Amino acid sequence: MDGLGSAPGALEVKAFGRGDALGAVMEAFEAFKEANDARLGEIEAKLAADVVTVEKVDRINRAITEQKAALDRMALERLRPHGGGERVSLPDERGEAFAAYVRKGDAGALARLELKGDQLTAGTDAEGGYLVPEETERRIDTLLGEVSPIRAIATVRQIAGQSFRQPVSRNGFASGWASETGARVQTDAADLSLVEFPAMELYAMPAATQSLLDDSLVDVNAWVAEEVQHAFAVQEGAAFVDGDGSGKPKGFLAYTKVADASWAWGQIGFVLSGAAGAFAASDPVDRLIDLAYAPKQIYRANGSWVMNRATEAAIRKLKDGEGNYIWQPGAAAGQPASLLGYSVTEAEDMPDMAANAFSIAFGDFRRGYLIADRQGIRVLRDPVSAKPFVLFYTTKRVGGGVQNFEAIKLMKFAAS
């Protein structure tokens, strides 16, 4: 097997169906392992790998990354609503009223529903637009859950107010055992901390031509959902990773970071990679094992790795002490890759491997990171600002931050 030349379709993913693309990933990974084994053998025998072998390994590695990206796009395409073809009709007057507003700017029906007390129009034009129908909001939220990597693994709460507040216990809530009639010994008081995540405004402004809006075959509700979900996902992805909390959610990388041995509540603990901008030359896998075992067992059981694709490609070359590759592609369509038995979440907003960079996170993000979604997505139609296009100023309020500082740990790419 000769690298890409023996990995059929490695650069022709678009011609494949989902099953064929998955097969190409698996075949390319086998070619990668063979080439990388040769590279490691050359290093062991000659203390340096042949340039041709290194280039071959890197070429196949890139092909695997491209194949995985194509699989991700295929999965998202299956979830994506389509603006043409069969219409997905909304059965009640709320959907019809919103469609009339989007197509023609007719807000009369929405105003009448507001007078009836309908929740669709809790806000008026002067207050920032009209709320989309519940069906459209659910469609946007479903798509965001699939395309926003941190949202897919974090806890998501729906809120009605301006912020989400929740008491958390730093030392765990007290408990004990007692027989049916036995005395209940008073437990120690819990050490409680209040976390608060204000909902910040996230916006997108898709544009359409009036001819598109006039086309009766176009499902305008699906069109709105499709147009805004990508813009929302890009902004969310960056904020949930390293947002500074000013006008946006606070990302888990924005909190104070300390060596895990000195960890305290309110901080994120880290372990060292063993070298500046790289893994330690000796036993690099041990450093990843250290990170996997940094969280307590209750968080490790549902742990996920979070890193970008460049970091994942570097880890793909590593083997454990028994000669097994620690990275494995998903065994079936739709399954994520795994590292040391835990799923890998690709978040392109994670930093590349560099000196002192925190390029890998591991932990139970369901317990560790919370996203607060304020109910209601608003749309304000603007046919004036960008003639001949019609703009749709779409807003959603989202907050986020770390709710459990024990559940997430980081790797710092440094020797000390």
Residue that the structure tokens 């073809």 belong to: 85
* Domain contains 46: yes
* Domain contains 20: yes
pLDDT for the residue 219 = 87
* Domain contains 64: yes
Domain holding 56, by residue range, is 3-79
8 Å CB contact between 406 and 365: no
Residue length, the chain?
A: 416
8 Å CB contact between 96 and 109: yes
Q: For residues 129 and 232, what is the distance between their CA atoms, to the nearest angstrom?
A: 18
Return the percentage of the chain with pLDDT > 70, whole number.
Answer: 75
* Domain contains 72: yes
Helix (H) or strand (E) holding 195, with range, is strand 192-198
* Domain contains 52: yes
- Does this model's pTM top 0.95? My answer is no
Q: For residues 255 and 262, what is the distance between their CA atoms, to the nearest angstrom?
A: 15
What average pLDDT score do residues 11-28 get?
55
* Domain contains 366: no
Q: For residues 29 and 316, what is the distance between their CA atoms, to the nearest angstrom?
A: 9
- pLDDT category at 78 given cuts 50, 70, 90 is low
DSSP 219-281: -HHHHHHHHHHHHHHHHHHHHHHH-BSSSSPBPGGGS-EEEGGG--TTSEEEEE-EETTEE-S
Q: Which of 46-50, 79-83, 335-339, 398-402 bottoms out in mean pLDDT, i.e. has the lowest?
A: 79-83
Residue type present at position 15 = A
Q: For residues 218 and 86, what is the distance between their CA atoms, to the nearest angstrom?
A: 9
Q: For residues 264 and 271, what is the distance between their CA atoms, to the nearest angstrom?
A: 14
Q: Which of 47-51, 62-66, 93-97 bottoms out in mean pLDDT, i.e. has the lowest?
A: 47-51
- 28-38, pLDDT tens digit by residue? 777 777 777 77
- 219-268, pLDDT tens digit by residue? 888 888 888 988 899 999 999 999 999 999 999 999 999 999 999 999 99
Q: For residues 238 and 222, what is the distance between their CA atoms, to the nearest angstrom?
A: 25
- pLDDT category at 128 given cuts 50, 70, 90 is low
* Domain contains 31: yes
Residue that the structure tokens 């898709």 belong to: 206
Q: For residues 383 and 267, what is the distance between their CA atoms, to the nearest angstrom?
A: 48
CB atoms within 10 A of CB 158: 11
pLDDT for the residue 58 = 77
Q: For residues 398 and 360, what is the distance between their CA atoms, to the nearest angstrom?
A: 25
* Rg (alpha carbons) of the chain, rounded to whole number: 25
Identify the three-state secondary structure at position 303.
coil
Q: For residues 198 and 400, what is the distance between their CA atoms, to the nearest angstrom?
A: 8
What's the total number of domains in the chain?
1
* Domain contains 331: no
- pLDDT category at 277 given cuts 50, 70, 90 is very high
- 98-108, pLDDT tens digit by residue? 888 889 988 88
Compute φ and ψ for 250, nearest 5 degrees: -100, 120
